[in-house]
Amino acid sequence: MKDLIPPPISTDATVRRFEYADLPVLDRMVRQIADHHGDVARHTPTTLLRDVTGSAPLAKVLMSVVDDKPRGFAATMPALQLHNGIRGVEIHLLWVDDGWRNRGLGRQLIETVTTRARIDGAHYVRVSAHRGNRRAQAYYESLGFERTGESGTNYMKRL
């Protein structure tokens, strides 16, 4: 499992907020995530813009940039435990392009999300991994995330 511990950042990567010019790259990366998980991406560039820009975006997107080119991103959404009176941040999607993995870009994105969440008064950052994705689970645990267990079976009603 030692190979799952993130290495030091070995690039001149920076993390910044999503910019309109990033739209084609974000579109590609979101499609790659869907494909990676065997899903079909049904979004469009228009729906991406709707959800990540404006005065009250549903998701905030941070881009990992190397040599002025986006190489990864983290999309976050507010989380809430109303009954406990605490707010949090959910990492909805995290992606680093092939060829740029294992260089610390994902860790840098997660650290930036965590720092911003703390500044904004959040009490926790939550992330999930597919049940069979042991590598992702070990990676998140190596970054200090704790397994929280099952909270029940999720349901969805399509509208």
Q: What is the CATH number of the domain that holds 73?
A: 3.40.630.30
Decide if 70 contacts 64 (C-beta within 8 A). yes
Q: Does position 3 have pLDDT exceeding 80, yes or no?
A: no
Min mean pLDDT across 54-58, 67-71, 75-79 is at 54-58
Range of the domain at 101: 2-142
In a domain, 101, yes or no: yes
Tell me whether residue 154 is in a domain.
Answer: no
Q: Tell me if 138 is assigned to some domain.
A: yes
User: Model pTM?
Assistant: 0.88
The H or E element containing residue 16 is strand 14-17
From CA 158, how far away is CA 49, in angstroms rounded?
22
